[in-house]
Every structure is written in structure tokens, then in C-alpha cells.
Amino acid sequence: MNSKTRNQSKFSACGLATVLLTASLAVAKSYDIAVDTLSLAADVVDKTMPAFPEDEDMRKGQEGWVQLNFVVAPDGSVVDPIVVDSVGGEAFEQSAVDAVSDWTFEPSDEEVANNSVAIRFERSNDSGKASRNFMRWYKMILTDLASDKVEDARANLERAKAFGGWNLYESSILAIVEGRVADGEGNDNLRREALRQALNIGDSNALNAKTKRELLASLVRIETEQQRFVDAGEALDALRDTKGHASVIESLEEEIRALEAGIAEATEITVPGVVSTPCDRESGQALWAHKPSLRHFAIENIDGDIERVEARCDSGRLVAPIDSQEAWSIPEAWGDCEVFVFGEDGASFAFVESPAIKEDNELAEGALASSIVQD
């Protein structure tokens, strides 16, 4: 779990298509690898399943989860995969990237830029339970929180994450605890990130219906307040699909009205952004991800090094250095989009959205195509 208040995990509320592979190795270890198709705008022809990484530096029992976004070129090959979020470490990220890079899709006349998958790496015999070592850390953090010692809770949480070796059950519980610590710190950005990661990686063994309802309700509140209306709408849809949701939905009446008004009436939206590296590690590509509600956006109030912006859409892609212009527009014809901002870990900015005017869209259809650059 990234502790730096930055990386935005992408959460798909429902309808995940899952491919499951159990691989038995010569050393008699058994692994479950599941590929969840969050959103594919292109038609897949062939999938290479990821390999469970065998890293000598990996702690016993370590499991991983990786979310990727990638572009499908006109010839059907995968290009420019990026790690949006992950737990478990770099070895899992690399295995996921290597596998997805070998996938092939139906060729088309243009590139398809907005594709997202999440891959779970689990050990068949060890997953779904907490170790004694994990419980020791867990109880220390809860004791700190019960005593209002938020700084001590944060310090122990960071030590637990640095110690590592957790399975996905433990990682999901750790993410929930991170949300509680962030709440005590008054850090809604980090709390949002922690809640989304817990929902992404936690299965029914880690998240019972009550816990899932509570996490989703908190997300609706935070994301509506932050004007992340697309994400808030997805969280609300997921909550409505959860058993026993009626009383929780009733408690969100004010937030739902604000969400509906924001979607229908917003003329300017400002979302705080902070660039971070997935999985809280030294290497990797630092980024910030966001699903915009409106079609015109600007990057303002930059503090730190911001390198480039990229909008990956169902039927188009915009890539431009930040210093090339002050604002950009996404044509309606490009469909649903996710915007990525790349830069130095810790760099912050304001992402300002507004409706795209007709002239902007006409410009975008022609001129923005020339701003597409190759990494």
C-alpha cells in the first residue's frame, strides 16, 4: 500500500470476467493466478498467463496484486503498459507486465488506448489466513488507535509494510487499517486510496458484507466531496449491489444529491493530485490517475516536477508534455477516458476540469493527434 497520499487505485464496481490458472511447480508448490478484466475496449485474441515470481529476496508467504493500464496498437499488439497500483512488490509487477505485453487483440484501424486489468497472485495453501507475525503488528496498531496515538499507529503501520511478506488477506486488512490511520490523521486522500485498495484486493474472506458496505459508503462520501464524480458513481453502484445496502443508502441521501447535481450541473471541478510510485518502492513510474467528469482540463498550481499528461480513451489518446500548453480538450467521440499525470514522486498539482467548448473539440480532433508522442 502506498503511504504517500498519492496513487489513485482504479476500482471497477462489478462484472469482472475472471480467468483462473492453478500452476503446480516441480517443488510441489501450488499457485492461483487470476486475471480480472476491469475494462477492455479491444477484443482479445490470445492471453499469456502470468508466472508466479520466484524471487530469492521475497519473504515466505508473499502474495501480490497488480493493476495495469495499456494501449492496443492497430496491429493488435500491446504497447505502453503502466502499473496503476499494486501490492506485493516489483517482482509481481514485472510478471504482470511481461504477460500482458504478449497478449494479442483483434487488429483495428486505430489504437485502442483505455484497457485495464487486475492480476491476483495467490498461494493455494497459504492464502486467506493471517500469520502470528502479522497479528502482532495488527494488534499494536489497533492498540495505538484505541489510545488515540495516531503517530505511533502510523509508525507501526510503516514498519509492518516495510517488513512485508504478507498474503493478500493480510494486505487487505492492512489497507483497512491504513484507512483508519489516515482518518485519524485527517488525510482523506490517503484514506480514499486505502479504501479502494482494500476493496480491490479483499475477497469475501477478508471483507464481509458489513465491512464492504462501510468501505463503499466512505468512498461515496470522500469522492463526492473531492468531486471525483465518476469514481463516486461507481462506488455507489457497487454499494447498491451489496446485500443489506438499504439503510446505508438512506444515510447517504445528502451525498447522493450532491453527486447527482455534480454530474448534471458542474461547470468547473478541481481535484487535488499528487504523483506517486505504485507499491511504495524506489523504482517504477511515478504517476497519478483520474477519471474526469468533464472533457476540458488544465494542470495548475504545480509544486514539483510534472513531466507529461496522457489521456487514454476508448477511441483515442492524447500525450503531451506539461509545458506544451496550459489546457487540453478530449473529444466526445473518444469515449470514456482515464487521465494519467507522470512526474517526480511527491509532485502535487490541481487538476481543473470544465466543459469543452465546440472550438476546443474541433481543435482536439485535428491538432491533438500531432501531439501524440512515443515513449
pLDDT of 73-88, one tens digit each?
Answer: 999 999 999 999 999 8
- Using CA atoms, how far apart are residues 85 and 88, in angstroms rounded to an integer? 11
Predicted confidence at residue 59, as pLDDT, reads: 76
Residue 141 contacts residue 153 (beta carbons within 8 Å): yes
How many angstroms separate the CA atoms of 61 and 134, rounded? 11
The reported pTM is 0.83
Q: Is the pLDDT of residue 325 over 70?
A: no
pLDDT at 25 over 80: no
Report the C-alpha gap between 200 and 185 in whole angstroms: 23
Whether 27 has a pLDDT exceeding 70, the answer reads no
Question: Is residue 212 pLDDT above 90, yes or no?
Answer: yes
- Number of other CB atoms surrounding residue 301 within 10 Å: 12
Of the given ranges (43-47, 77-81, 95-99), which has the lowest mean pLDDT? 43-47
Mean predicted confidence (pLDDT) in 1-28: 33
Contacts of residue 369, Cβ cutoff 8 Å, sequence gap at least 6: none
Domain end marker among 123, 138, 153 = 123
Asked whether residue 184 is domain-assigned, the answer is no
Q: What is the mean pLDDT of residues 130-142?
A: 92
Q: Which of 175-184, 275-284, 365-374 has the highest mean pLDDT?
A: 175-184
Higher pLDDT, 86 or 163: 86
Residue 359 clears pLDDT 90, i.e. is over it: no
Question: Residue 2 and residue 161: Cα distance in Å, rounded?
Answer: 9
Among 56-60, 94-98, 299-303, the minimum mean pLDDT is found in: 56-60
Is pLDDT of 5 > 50?
no
Residue 60 belongs to domain spanning: 17-123
Query: Residue 231 has what pLDDT?
Result: 96
Half-sphere exposure (Cβ direction) of 234: Cα atoms closer than 13 Å: 18
% of the chain surpassing 90 pLDDT? 65
Residue 93, pLDDT above cutoff 80: yes
367 or 310, which is more confident? 310
Q: How far apart are CA 345 and CA 287, in angstroms?
A: 8
Q: Which of 123, 151, 168 lies at the terminal end of a domain, its last residue?
A: 123
Angle between helices 229-240 and 209-225 (to 10 degrees): 160
The DSSP secondary structure of 335-357, one letter per residue, reads -SEEEEEEESTT-EEEEEEEPPP
Give the domain CATH number at 21: 3.30.2420.10
Q: What does the alpha-carbon distance between residue 351 and residue 301 come to, in Å, rounded to a whole number?
A: 9
Cell of 258: 450532491
Residue 32 has pLDDT above 90, yes or no: no
In a domain, 229, yes or no: no
Average pLDDT over residues 259-271: 91
Mean pLDDT of the 100-114 span: 92
Share of the chain above pLDDT 70, in %: 83
Neighbouring residues of 374: CB distance < 8 A, sequence distance ≥ 6: none
pLDDT 10s digits, 244-259: 999 999 999 999 999 9
pLDDT band at 22 (very low <50, low <70, confident <90, very high): very low
CA distance 121 to 293: 33
Q: 221-243, pLDDT tens digit by residue? A: 999 999 999 999 999 999 999 99
* 169 within some domain: no
Q: Which one of 123, 158, 185 terminates a domain?
A: 123
Q: What is the mean pLDDT of the chain?
A: 84
Least Cα distance to 178 among 142, 218, 149 occurs for 142
Q: How many CB atoms lie within 10 A of CB 153?
A: 24
Closest by CA position to 59, among listed 186, 170, 187: 170
Is residue 144 one of the residues assigned to a domain? no
Please state the rounded mean pLDDT for residues 111-135: 86
Residue 360 has pLDDT above 60, yes or no: no
Question: What pLDDT, on a 0 to 100 scale, did the predictor assign at position 371?
Answer: 43
C-alpha cell at 57: 529476496
Report, as an integer, the average pLDDT of 307-311. Answer: 95
- Rounded to whole angstroms, the Cα distance separating 289 from 228 reads 11
pLDDT of residue 324: 58
Quick check: is 188 in a domain?
no
Query: For the CA atoms of the chain, what is the radius of gyration?
Result: 20
Note whether residue 322 is domain-resident.
yes
pLDDT band at 128; cut points 50, 70, 90 = confident
Whichever domain contains 286, its CATH number is: 2.60.120
* Assigned domain for 9 exists: no
- Name which of 300, 306, 269 is nearest 286 in CA terms: 306
Q: Give the Cα separation of 133 and 64 in Å (integer).
A: 18
Tell me whether residue 298 is in a domain: yes
Per the structure, the count of domains in the chain is: 2
Q: What distance in Å separates the CA atoms of residue 2 and residue 136, rounded to the nearest whole number?
A: 21
Which carries the bigger pLDDT value, residue 366 or residue 180?
180
Tell whether the model's pLDDT for residue 105 goes beyond 50. yes
pLDDT at 282: 54
